Amino acid sequence: LKIIVYETATWTKIVSHIGGYAVAISPTTRELAKAQAEDIELGDILTGDIRLVLSGHGARVLQISYSHDGEVIAIGSYDYTIRMWTTSLGDTLHVLRGHTDWVYDVAFSPKGHDAPIRSVAYSPDGRQIASADQDKGAGLWDAHNGVLIRALVGHVSAIYCVVFSPDGHRLASCGRNVDVRLWDPLNGELLSKFSGHNNAIASISYSPGGDYIASGSMDGTVRLWDVGRALQREEPDHSKKEWTCADISPDGAWTATGNSDGAVQLWETRTGKSGAISIGHVYSVCRVTFSPCGELVASASVDGTVRLWCAHTGRSVNVLEGHTDSVYSVVFSPYGHQLASCGPDKTVRLWNSKTGEPGLILEGHTDAVNAVVFSPSGHQIASCSEDKTVRLWCSLTGEQLMVLHHEEALGRVMFSPDGLEVISVNSVSWAHGDLSCWDSHSGEEINQATLKEFNILCCSYSPCGKLLATGEREGMLRLWNRNLGGDHWSEVYRSIIGPYTDIQWIQGQDGMYLATSGHGIVRVWIMMEVGESYTLRMLWSLGEKNALSLTNADLSGAVGLSPVDLKFVRKHGAITESSSESE
């Protein structure tokens, strides 16, 4: 018998080899497997040099088949058995017995998904099928024979939806890592990413003409993306990035922001003047936080890492790797020695903030962990999850101390300034915002009927601990004072300031600075206490200029307002004529 090897482009004969009752070519190397009676020889397809001989069958070999990764070879024989070997060393893996006659054929199943399938879609011509799974896997398949054509690599967490463009020339995907991705089905190349949502994207759909993609997210919004403009590959405009999060330094001098392009940037809190910028994350930044001393900034990203930066220079100090999915939140311990991070891999992870060495892994949640926080003493950690629980942990031993059960998935958790209470807020965008308060020692729920009347999305205590700020889905900011009525919260201020999903504030030299972030926008405010009343004035703004709405707020001298904003706020009396003339 003779084996002849051809060049497939021209069908020119290259070389021939003697022997081969059965043959197979490795899918990953230029190795040829050929049967010589009951043995199999593995060698170079061009030179014929034999690297390995596999022996064990008691009769002639009839069929040879490689696994999809080329690491295993299966042989069918006249001896009624199938034998499997490793191709690296020739170790016998299995002998499959059960046939009562010759084994003429043997084949591996095609490489498929290793996790539950979340979405499938036919191409418009019916020739391909796109699929996506729960564990960041996506692929294109031949619809006629079921063979995997290529894998689409790039998502770092679960993919919820795939859809072809009407002409079949593009494929869009979305999922937990909060961006829409556009692919070329011919070569699997990632063409573009659309970032802006701040929660998982559940569904996407093309317009009939294929010029636009609509995406629906668990953040409660639907966004429309211009596909044609994205494919023009314009140079990125940093000023148009989606601003995802913000934090203010302990002394109030600087504000750190994260954006959808993976950058962390510092700004002077009082003026909005830009400072150091830190580039390192591959995907969107979910959270930024200053260390208690103000020397470091930690950032958590969809790329699955936590990064530490010098707050003065923006220089990278450390990269903390260990999470197996996105990282949603990161926080320093009160004395700055530890970091805690969490994400959709259902874990809370502790780190040494000086060395970057990993510490305890807190496991117990059964779904994504959305937020984590240290108690004021640093002895406890609270985490909240999509599994509808808040869990309290010992920060020294990792022991789970308590589980607080809720009716909805949770997106926010914090301790009161004295550490005696835990406050949580649900994360279900379509549900009524629900704030719950718990005794951190007994686990008993504390009745907060006054606060439950409002559609609360986020909350934060003032630096002095006397006030509680709550943010509502409709853009309302309210301040509550507990001291006026014991356990009863009394409203002392309200203002509609536009959409946001997070509040951070700190005591500055001339007042309390607040940073609100969410929906692609960061705004920095100063709050002054005048007698028994409060005033709020915006200092500067980043992000979209078409989402401003306000009542009972002062924007005189604010930086970052568009002409449309200026006209709007003048109309509503938020800028006086004397102050606006200087702009």
Does 283 score more than 60 pLDDT?
yes
CB atoms within 10 A of CB 187: 7
Strands (E), 200-314: 201-206, 212-217, 222-226, 243-248, 254-259, 263-268, 274-279, 285-290, 296-301, 305-310
- Please say whether the beta carbons of 543 and 522 come within 8 A: yes
How high is the pLDDT of residue 251?
Answer: 92
Q: How confident is the model at residue 485 (pLDDT cuts 50, 70, 90)?
A: very low
How high is the pLDDT of residue 234?
Answer: 40
How high is the pLDDT of residue 566?
Answer: 58
Q: Using CA atoms, how far apart are residues 325 and 269, in angstroms rounded to an integer?
A: 32
Mean pLDDT of 21-36: 86
How high is the pLDDT of residue 112?
Answer: 56
Mean pLDDT of 239-268: 89
How high is the pLDDT of residue 376?
Answer: 94
515 vs 435, which has greater pLDDT?
A: 515
Say how many Å lie between the first and final Cα of the chain, rounded. Answer: 90
**Tokens standing for 311?**
């707050």
How high is the pLDDT of residue 131?
Answer: 87
Q: Which residues of 214-225 are buried (b: 16+ CB within 10 A; e: fewer)?
A: ebbbbbbbebeb
How high is the pLDDT of residue 545?
Answer: 54
How high is the pLDDT of residue 52?
Answer: 92
Q: Render pLDDT for 74-83 as a digit per residue (tens, 0 to 9).
A: 898 888 888 8
Q: Tokens 């060395």 — which residue? A: 355
Mean pLDDT of 456-477: 84
Does 124 score more than 80 pLDDT?
yes
Q: Render pLDDT for 194-221 as a digit per residue (tens, 0 to 9).
A: 887 878 898 898 988 888 898 988 888 8
- Residue 328 DSSP code: -
Task: Using alpha carbons, list the distances in angstroms from residue 329 to 298, 383, 423, 435.
Answer: 10, 10, 17, 19
What percentage of residues in the chain have a pLDDT greater than 90?
Answer: 32
- Please say whether the beta carbons of 67 and 46 come within 8 A: no
Q: Using CA atoms, how far apart are residues 477 and 545, in angstroms rounded to an integer?
A: 19
433 vs 514, which has greater pLDDT?
A: 514
Q: How confident is the model at residue 573 (pLDDT cuts 50, 70, 90)?
A: very low
Does 13 score more than 60 pLDDT?
yes
- Is the alpha carbon torsion for 17, 21, 27, 31 positive or negative? negative
How high is the pLDDT of residue 347?
Answer: 96
Does 35 score more than 70 pLDDT?
yes
Q: Tokens 């309290």 — which residue? A: 392
3-state secondary structure of 450: helix
318 phi/psi in degrees, rounded to 5: -165, 155
Does 315 score more than 60 pLDDT?
yes
Q: Which residues of 65-103 are buried (b: 16+ CB within 10 A; e: fewer)?
A: bbbeeeebbbbbbbbbbbbbbebeebeeeeeeeeeeeeb
Does 235 score more than 50 pLDDT?
no
Helix (H) / strand (E) element for 364: namely: none
Q: What is the pTM of this model?
A: 0.58
CB atoms within 10 A of CB 415: 21
Mean pLDDT of 93-121: 75
Q: Using CA atoms, how far apart are residues 161 and 118, in angstroms rounded to an integer?
A: 7
How high is the pLDDT of residue 224?
Answer: 86
3-state SS, 317-361, equals EEEEECCCCCCCEEEECCCCCEEEEECCCCEEEEEECCCCCEEEE
Helix (H) / strand (E) element for 150: namely: strand 148-151
Does 228 score more than 80 pLDDT?
no
Specify which residues 128 forms β-bridges with: 142
Task: Using alpha carbons, list the distances in angstroms from residue 489 to 93, 445, 466, 483.
Answer: 69, 16, 11, 8
Q: Using CA atoms, how far apart are residues 288 and 285, in angstroms rounded to an integer?
A: 8
Mean pLDDT of 383-395: 94
The full length of the chain comes to 583
How high is the pLDDT of residue 104?
Answer: 77
Q: Using CA atoms, how far apart are residues 317 and 324, in angstroms rounded to an integer?
A: 22
How high is the pLDDT of residue 565?
Answer: 56
**Tokens standing for 7?**
């060049």
Mean pLDDT across the chain, nearest whole number? 83
Q: Using CA atoms, how far apart are residues 163 and 122, in angstroms rounded to an integer?
A: 8
Does 170 score more than 60 pLDDT?
yes
Q: How confident is the model at residue 237 (pLDDT cuts 50, 70, 90)?
A: very low
Q: Out of 147-156, 424-433, 454-463, which region has the weakest mean confidence (pLDDT)?
A: 424-433
Q: How confident is the model at residue 286 (pLDDT cuts 50, 70, 90)?
A: very high
